[in-house]
Amino acid sequence: MDQDSHCTAERELLEAVSRITTFSTTSRITTFSTTRPSDKEENQPKGEISCQLRKENPEKDDLQDSSATLSPHSSMTTKELQEYWRNEKSQCRQVKLLFEIPSARIVEHHLSKYVTYKIIILQTGSFDSNKSVIERRYSDFEKLHRNLLEEFSEEMEDVTFPKKALTGNFTEEIINERKLAFKDYLRLLYSMKCIRRSKKFIDFLTRRELQEAYGCLRGGQYTKALEILLEVIGLQERLTRGNPVSIVPTLCAIVVCHKDLENPASAFEYGEKALSCLRVHSSHRYYIPLLETMITLAYELGKDFLSLQEKLEEWKTKKDPIRVFTLKELAVREYVQ
Protein backbone atom coordinates (compact mmCIF):
# COMPACT_ATOMS: atom_id res chain seq x y z
CA MET A 1 0.00 0.00 0.00
CA ASP A 2 1.52 3.46 -1.00
CA GLN A 3 1.78 6.37 1.46
CA ASP A 4 -1.24 8.29 0.06
CA SER A 5 -3.51 5.24 0.41
CA HIS A 6 -2.26 4.68 3.95
CA CYS A 7 -3.02 8.30 4.92
CA THR A 8 -6.48 8.09 3.33
CA ALA A 9 -7.29 4.93 5.36
CA GLU A 10 -6.19 6.62 8.59
CA ARG A 11 -8.41 9.65 7.87
CA GLU A 12 -11.44 7.42 7.20
CA LEU A 13 -10.83 5.50 10.42
CA LEU A 14 -10.58 8.71 12.45
CA GLU A 15 -13.79 10.06 10.88
CA ALA A 16 -15.63 6.82 11.67
CA VAL A 17 -14.50 6.94 15.32
CA SER A 18 -15.60 10.59 15.52
CA ARG A 19 -19.05 9.77 14.16
CA ILE A 20 -19.51 6.89 16.64
CA THR A 21 -18.43 9.10 19.57
CA THR A 22 -20.76 11.91 18.50
CA PHE A 23 -23.69 9.49 18.10
CA SER A 24 -23.08 7.94 21.54
CA THR A 25 -22.96 11.35 23.23
CA THR A 26 -26.09 12.52 21.42
CA SER A 27 -27.93 9.33 22.39
CA ARG A 28 -27.12 9.86 26.06
CA ILE A 29 -28.30 13.46 25.91
CA THR A 30 -31.50 12.43 24.12
CA THR A 31 -32.18 9.64 26.58
CA PHE A 32 -31.64 11.96 29.50
CA SER A 33 -33.96 14.60 28.08
CA THR A 34 -36.71 12.11 27.29
CA THR A 35 -36.58 10.53 30.76
CA ARG A 36 -36.72 13.80 32.67
CA PRO A 37 -39.77 13.94 34.92
CA SER A 38 -42.77 15.82 33.63
CA ASP A 39 -43.85 19.10 35.16
CA LYS A 40 -46.50 17.14 37.06
CA GLU A 41 -43.89 14.80 38.49
CA GLU A 42 -41.54 17.68 39.33
CA ASN A 43 -44.30 19.30 41.34
CA GLN A 44 -45.12 16.03 43.14
CA PRO A 45 -43.94 15.72 46.72
CA LYS A 46 -40.90 13.47 47.06
CA GLY A 47 -42.84 11.14 49.34
CA GLU A 48 -45.41 10.44 46.60
CA ILE A 49 -42.71 9.78 44.00
CA SER A 50 -41.01 7.43 46.44
CA CYS A 51 -44.26 5.53 46.94
CA GLN A 52 -44.67 5.17 43.18
CA LEU A 53 -41.16 3.78 42.85
CA ARG A 54 -41.84 1.33 45.66
CA LYS A 55 -44.96 0.10 43.86
CA GLU A 56 -43.15 -0.23 40.53
CA ASN A 57 -40.27 -2.25 42.00
CA PRO A 58 -41.50 -4.09 45.10
CA GLU A 59 -38.74 -6.72 45.00
CA LYS A 60 -36.02 -4.09 45.19
CA ASP A 61 -37.97 -2.38 47.96
CA ASP A 62 -38.14 -5.64 49.93
CA LEU A 63 -34.38 -6.00 49.67
CA GLN A 64 -33.85 -2.44 50.85
CA ASP A 65 -36.20 -2.97 53.77
CA SER A 66 -34.46 -6.19 54.75
CA SER A 67 -31.01 -4.59 54.69
CA ALA A 68 -32.32 -1.72 56.79
CA THR A 69 -34.04 -3.75 59.49
CA LEU A 70 -31.78 -6.77 59.87
CA SER A 71 -28.48 -6.38 61.63
CA PRO A 72 -25.41 -7.39 59.56
CA HIS A 73 -24.37 -9.50 62.55
CA SER A 74 -27.70 -11.36 62.72
CA SER A 75 -27.28 -14.86 64.16
CA MET A 76 -30.34 -16.24 62.35
CA THR A 77 -29.84 -19.32 60.19
CA THR A 78 -30.95 -19.30 56.55
CA LYS A 79 -34.12 -21.20 57.45
CA GLU A 80 -34.89 -18.77 60.29
CA LEU A 81 -34.35 -15.81 57.96
CA GLN A 82 -36.70 -17.31 55.38
CA GLU A 83 -39.35 -17.88 58.05
CA TYR A 84 -38.78 -14.36 59.42
CA TRP A 85 -39.36 -12.66 56.07
CA ARG A 86 -42.29 -14.94 55.26
CA ASN A 87 -43.94 -13.76 58.47
CA GLU A 88 -43.01 -10.12 57.83
CA LYS A 89 -44.56 -10.18 54.35
CA SER A 90 -47.69 -11.88 55.63
CA GLN A 91 -48.06 -9.13 58.24
CA CYS A 92 -48.03 -6.52 55.46
CA ARG A 93 -50.87 -8.16 53.58
CA GLN A 94 -54.27 -7.20 54.87
CA VAL A 95 -56.43 -10.22 55.54
CA LYS A 96 -60.18 -9.83 55.35
CA LEU A 97 -62.63 -12.42 56.55
CA LEU A 98 -66.09 -13.10 55.20
CA PHE A 99 -68.84 -14.52 57.41
CA GLU A 100 -71.62 -16.64 55.99
CA ILE A 101 -74.49 -18.39 57.83
CA PRO A 102 -75.94 -20.82 55.28
CA SER A 103 -78.00 -22.97 57.61
CA ALA A 104 -79.32 -23.55 61.11
CA ARG A 105 -80.69 -26.53 63.02
CA ILE A 106 -82.99 -27.06 65.97
CA VAL A 107 -81.42 -28.99 68.85
CA GLU A 108 -83.45 -30.74 71.53
CA HIS A 109 -81.37 -31.70 74.55
CA HIS A 110 -83.18 -33.21 77.55
CA LEU A 111 -85.69 -30.54 78.53
CA SER A 112 -84.09 -27.71 76.53
CA LYS A 113 -84.60 -26.73 72.92
CA TYR A 114 -82.55 -24.21 70.96
CA VAL A 115 -81.31 -23.25 67.49
CA THR A 116 -77.65 -23.43 66.44
CA TYR A 117 -76.42 -21.39 63.49
CA LYS A 118 -73.71 -22.71 61.20
CA ILE A 119 -71.06 -20.03 60.61
CA ILE A 120 -68.58 -20.36 57.75
CA ILE A 121 -65.54 -18.06 57.92
CA LEU A 122 -63.65 -17.49 54.68
CA GLN A 123 -60.69 -15.39 53.67
CA THR A 124 -61.60 -13.01 50.86
CA GLY A 125 -59.49 -12.11 47.84
CA SER A 126 -58.51 -15.64 46.86
CA PHE A 127 -59.76 -19.21 46.89
CA ASP A 128 -59.76 -20.31 50.50
CA SER A 129 -59.47 -24.07 50.90
CA ASN A 130 -59.08 -23.78 54.67
CA LYS A 131 -62.45 -22.34 55.56
CA SER A 132 -63.49 -22.55 59.20
CA VAL A 133 -66.89 -23.89 60.22
CA ILE A 134 -68.34 -23.38 63.71
CA GLU A 135 -71.77 -23.45 65.32
CA ARG A 136 -73.17 -20.91 67.76
CA ARG A 137 -76.59 -20.48 69.34
CA TYR A 138 -78.58 -17.32 70.03
CA SER A 139 -77.40 -17.18 73.66
CA ASP A 140 -73.76 -17.20 72.49
CA PHE A 141 -74.37 -14.16 70.28
CA GLU A 142 -76.27 -12.50 73.12
CA LYS A 143 -73.37 -13.04 75.55
CA LEU A 144 -70.89 -11.66 73.01
CA HIS A 145 -73.01 -8.55 72.56
CA ARG A 146 -73.19 -7.90 76.32
CA ASN A 147 -69.44 -8.35 76.71
CA LEU A 148 -68.64 -6.00 73.85
CA LEU A 149 -71.02 -3.36 75.17
CA GLU A 150 -69.09 -3.36 78.46
CA GLU A 151 -65.74 -2.72 76.78
CA PHE A 152 -66.68 -0.85 73.60
CA SER A 153 -69.78 1.13 74.52
CA GLU A 154 -69.07 3.98 72.10
CA GLU A 155 -68.17 1.75 69.15
CA MET A 156 -71.24 -0.43 69.78
CA GLU A 157 -73.60 2.51 70.14
CA ASP A 158 -75.19 2.10 66.70
CA VAL A 159 -74.89 -1.70 66.47
CA THR A 160 -78.29 -3.34 66.63
CA PHE A 161 -78.83 -6.85 67.93
CA PRO A 162 -81.80 -9.06 66.95
CA LYS A 163 -84.17 -9.25 69.88
CA LYS A 164 -85.47 -12.54 71.19
CA ALA A 165 -89.11 -13.12 70.30
CA LEU A 166 -91.55 -14.23 72.98
CA THR A 167 -93.03 -16.81 70.63
CA GLY A 168 -92.19 -18.31 67.26
CA ASN A 169 -88.43 -18.63 67.86
CA PHE A 170 -88.39 -21.98 66.07
CA THR A 171 -90.37 -21.01 62.99
CA GLU A 172 -88.59 -21.08 59.64
CA GLU A 173 -89.33 -17.39 59.11
CA ILE A 174 -87.69 -16.27 62.38
CA ILE A 175 -84.69 -18.56 61.88
CA ASN A 176 -84.08 -17.22 58.36
CA GLU A 177 -84.35 -13.64 59.59
CA ARG A 178 -81.80 -14.31 62.30
CA LYS A 179 -79.41 -16.00 59.89
CA LEU A 180 -79.26 -12.78 57.86
CA ALA A 181 -79.16 -10.59 60.97
CA PHE A 182 -76.28 -12.51 62.58
CA LYS A 183 -74.32 -12.51 59.32
CA ASP A 184 -74.60 -8.72 59.08
CA TYR A 185 -73.82 -8.44 62.80
CA LEU A 186 -70.54 -10.37 62.51
CA ARG A 187 -69.51 -8.46 59.41
CA LEU A 188 -70.11 -5.17 61.17
CA LEU A 189 -68.14 -6.23 64.25
CA TYR A 190 -65.25 -7.42 62.11
CA SER A 191 -65.16 -4.11 60.24
CA MET A 192 -64.19 -2.36 63.50
CA LYS A 193 -60.47 -2.85 64.12
CA CYS A 194 -60.63 -2.53 67.90
CA ILE A 195 -63.33 -5.20 68.11
CA ARG A 196 -61.97 -7.75 65.65
CA ARG A 197 -58.67 -7.74 67.56
CA SER A 198 -60.32 -7.95 70.97
CA LYS A 199 -60.02 -11.11 73.04
CA LYS A 200 -63.80 -11.24 73.54
CA PHE A 201 -64.50 -11.38 69.80
CA ILE A 202 -61.75 -13.94 69.15
CA ASP A 203 -62.92 -16.06 72.08
CA PHE A 204 -66.45 -16.10 70.67
CA LEU A 205 -65.11 -17.66 67.45
CA THR A 206 -62.55 -20.08 68.94
CA ARG A 207 -62.97 -20.71 72.67
CA ARG A 208 -65.63 -23.44 72.52
CA GLU A 209 -63.59 -25.54 70.10
CA LEU A 210 -60.38 -25.00 72.08
CA GLN A 211 -62.08 -26.06 75.29
CA GLU A 212 -63.21 -29.27 73.61
CA ALA A 213 -59.75 -29.92 72.17
CA TYR A 214 -57.95 -29.43 75.49
CA GLY A 215 -60.53 -31.62 77.19
CA CYS A 216 -59.68 -34.39 74.72
CA LEU A 217 -55.96 -33.80 75.25
CA ARG A 218 -56.31 -34.15 79.03
CA GLY A 219 -58.28 -37.35 78.47
CA GLY A 220 -55.55 -38.84 76.27
CA GLN A 221 -57.70 -38.57 73.12
CA TYR A 222 -54.82 -37.11 71.10
CA THR A 223 -56.21 -37.91 67.65
CA LYS A 224 -59.51 -36.14 68.36
CA ALA A 225 -57.72 -33.23 70.07
CA LEU A 226 -55.35 -32.84 67.13
CA GLU A 227 -58.20 -32.85 64.64
CA ILE A 228 -59.92 -29.96 66.42
CA LEU A 229 -56.69 -28.01 67.05
CA LEU A 230 -55.70 -28.15 63.39
CA GLU A 231 -59.10 -26.72 62.43
CA VAL A 232 -58.85 -23.93 65.00
CA ILE A 233 -55.24 -22.86 64.39
CA GLY A 234 -55.98 -21.62 60.86
CA LEU A 235 -58.75 -19.36 62.13
CA GLN A 236 -56.63 -18.18 65.05
CA GLU A 237 -53.80 -17.23 62.70
CA ARG A 238 -56.16 -15.12 60.59
CA LEU A 239 -57.74 -13.41 63.58
CA THR A 240 -54.46 -12.65 65.39
CA ARG A 241 -52.03 -11.75 62.60
CA GLY A 242 -50.84 -8.72 64.54
CA ASN A 243 -50.21 -10.80 67.67
CA PRO A 244 -48.57 -14.13 66.75
CA VAL A 245 -47.62 -14.89 70.37
CA SER A 246 -51.29 -15.48 71.18
CA ILE A 247 -51.35 -18.68 69.08
CA VAL A 248 -48.31 -20.23 70.79
CA PRO A 249 -50.37 -22.33 73.28
CA THR A 250 -52.36 -23.88 70.42
CA LEU A 251 -49.22 -24.58 68.39
CA CYS A 252 -47.60 -26.20 71.43
CA ALA A 253 -50.71 -28.32 72.08
CA ILE A 254 -50.41 -29.55 68.48
CA VAL A 255 -46.75 -30.40 69.16
CA VAL A 256 -47.78 -32.40 72.24
CA CYS A 257 -50.43 -34.32 70.30
CA HIS A 258 -48.11 -35.15 67.40
CA LYS A 259 -45.35 -36.19 69.82
CA ASP A 260 -47.64 -38.52 71.80
CA LEU A 261 -48.99 -39.93 68.53
CA GLU A 262 -45.36 -40.67 67.54
CA ASN A 263 -45.25 -38.18 64.68
CA PRO A 264 -41.94 -36.46 65.54
CA ALA A 265 -41.50 -34.80 62.13
CA SER A 266 -44.90 -33.08 62.34
CA ALA A 267 -44.29 -32.19 65.98
CA PHE A 268 -40.97 -30.57 65.03
CA GLU A 269 -42.61 -28.63 62.18
CA TYR A 270 -45.19 -27.02 64.47
CA GLY A 271 -42.56 -26.50 67.14
CA GLU A 272 -40.53 -24.42 64.69
CA LYS A 273 -43.60 -22.27 64.01
CA ALA A 274 -44.09 -21.72 67.73
CA LEU A 275 -40.41 -20.82 68.24
CA SER A 276 -40.58 -18.28 65.39
CA CYS A 277 -43.47 -16.59 67.23
CA LEU A 278 -41.34 -16.43 70.40
CA ARG A 279 -38.04 -15.29 68.87
CA VAL A 280 -38.19 -12.01 70.81
CA HIS A 281 -40.21 -13.34 73.74
CA SER A 282 -37.76 -15.56 75.62
CA SER A 283 -39.50 -14.77 78.91
CA HIS A 284 -42.75 -16.38 77.72
CA ARG A 285 -43.85 -19.32 79.88
CA TYR A 286 -43.80 -21.68 76.88
CA TYR A 287 -40.30 -20.74 75.66
CA ILE A 288 -38.11 -23.06 77.75
CA PRO A 289 -40.47 -26.08 77.75
CA LEU A 290 -40.74 -25.70 73.97
CA LEU A 291 -36.95 -25.47 73.58
CA GLU A 292 -36.46 -28.61 75.67
CA THR A 293 -39.03 -30.51 73.60
CA MET A 294 -37.48 -29.29 70.33
CA ILE A 295 -34.02 -30.46 71.44
CA THR A 296 -35.44 -33.93 72.10
CA LEU A 297 -37.24 -34.01 68.76
CA ALA A 298 -34.21 -32.72 66.83
CA TYR A 299 -32.01 -35.40 68.37
CA GLU A 300 -34.57 -38.08 67.52
CA LEU A 301 -34.87 -36.86 63.91
CA GLY A 302 -31.14 -36.44 63.39
CA LYS A 303 -31.44 -32.68 63.02
CA ASP A 304 -29.16 -29.96 64.38
CA PHE A 305 -29.95 -29.63 68.07
CA LEU A 306 -26.79 -27.78 69.10
CA SER A 307 -28.17 -24.36 68.16
CA LEU A 308 -31.27 -25.08 70.25
CA GLN A 309 -29.07 -26.27 73.10
CA GLU A 310 -27.08 -23.03 72.91
CA LYS A 311 -30.27 -20.98 73.21
CA LEU A 312 -31.29 -23.02 76.25
CA GLU A 313 -27.90 -22.56 77.93
CA GLU A 314 -27.94 -18.84 77.10
CA TRP A 315 -31.33 -18.49 78.78
CA LYS A 316 -30.15 -20.36 81.87
CA THR A 317 -27.18 -18.03 82.31
CA LYS A 318 -29.45 -14.96 82.23
CA LYS A 319 -32.31 -16.23 84.40
CA ASP A 320 -32.45 -17.46 87.95
CA PRO A 321 -33.09 -21.21 88.09
CA ILE A 322 -36.81 -21.76 88.62
CA ARG A 323 -39.08 -24.75 88.31
CA VAL A 324 -40.25 -25.06 84.72
CA PHE A 325 -43.18 -27.21 83.66
CA THR A 326 -42.85 -29.57 80.74
CA LEU A 327 -44.63 -28.67 77.51
CA LYS A 328 -47.30 -31.28 78.14
CA GLU A 329 -47.86 -30.09 81.72
CA LEU A 330 -48.45 -26.57 80.44
CA ALA A 331 -50.79 -27.77 77.71
CA VAL A 332 -53.08 -29.73 80.01
CA ARG A 333 -53.48 -26.65 82.23
CA GLU A 334 -54.98 -24.56 79.43
CA TYR A 335 -58.73 -23.91 79.57
CA VAL A 336 -59.17 -25.63 82.93
CA GLN A 337 -62.38 -24.28 84.46
Look at residue 318 and tell me whether its pLDDT is greater than 70.
yes
Q: What's residue 127's pLDDT?
A: 58
Residue whose C-alpha is closest to residue 254's, from 236, 277, 233, 238: 233
**Domain range annotation of the chain:** 94-197, 205-336
Give the other-Cβ count within 10 Å of 235's Cβ. Answer: 21
Residue whose C-alpha is closest to residue 252's, from 269, 227, 235: 269
Q: What's residue 314's pLDDT?
A: 87
Look at residue 65 and tell me whether its pLDDT is greater than 50.
no
Mean pLDDT of 283-312: 94
Over the chain, what is the mean pLDDT? 80
pLDDT band for position 40 (50/70/90)?
Answer: very low
Which has more confidence, 268 or 38?
268
Convert the pLDDT of each residue in 98-107 to its tens digit: 999 999 999 9
Convert the pLDDT of each residue in 180-217 to its tens digit: 999 999 999 999 999 999 999 999 999 999 999 999 99
Q: What's residue 336's pLDDT?
A: 84
pLDDT band for position 53 (50/70/90)?
Answer: very low
Q: What's residue 87's pLDDT?
A: 60
Look at residue 23 and tell me whether its pLDDT is greater than 50.
no
Torsional sign, CA 52, 58, 64, 68? positive
Q: Report the distance separating Cα 135 and Cα 215, nearest Å.
A: 18
Q: Which residues contact 107 (CB under 8 A, 6 or more apart)?
A: 113, 114, 115, 116, 137
Look at residue 81 and tell me whether its pLDDT is greater than 80.
no
Residue whose C-alpha is closest to residue 208's, from 141, 149, 109, 145: 141
Q: What's residue 43's pLDDT?
A: 45
Percent of the chain whose pLDDT exceeds 90: 58
Q: Report the distance separating Cα 41 and Cα 43, nearest Å.
A: 5
Q: What's residue 300's pLDDT?
A: 96
107-116, 203-212, 294-303, 318-327: segment of lowest average pLDDT: 318-327
DSSP 244: G
CATH number (3.40.50.720, 1.25.40.10, 1.10.286.10, 3.20.20.80) of 205-336 reads 1.25.40.10
Look at residue 95 and tell me whether its pLDDT is greater than 80.
no
pLDDT band for position 236 (50/70/90)?
Answer: very high
Q: What's residue 76's pLDDT?
A: 60
pLDDT band for position 88 (50/70/90)?
Answer: low
Q: What's residue 125's pLDDT?
A: 66
Burial (CB count <10 Å: 0-12, 13-18, 19+), residue 300:
middle
Looking at domain 94-197, what is its CATH homologous superfamily? Phox-like domain (3.30.1520.10)
Q: What's residue 316's pLDDT?
A: 81
Q: Report the distance separating Cα 236 and Cα 231, nearest Å.
A: 9
Q: What's residue 205's pLDDT?
A: 97
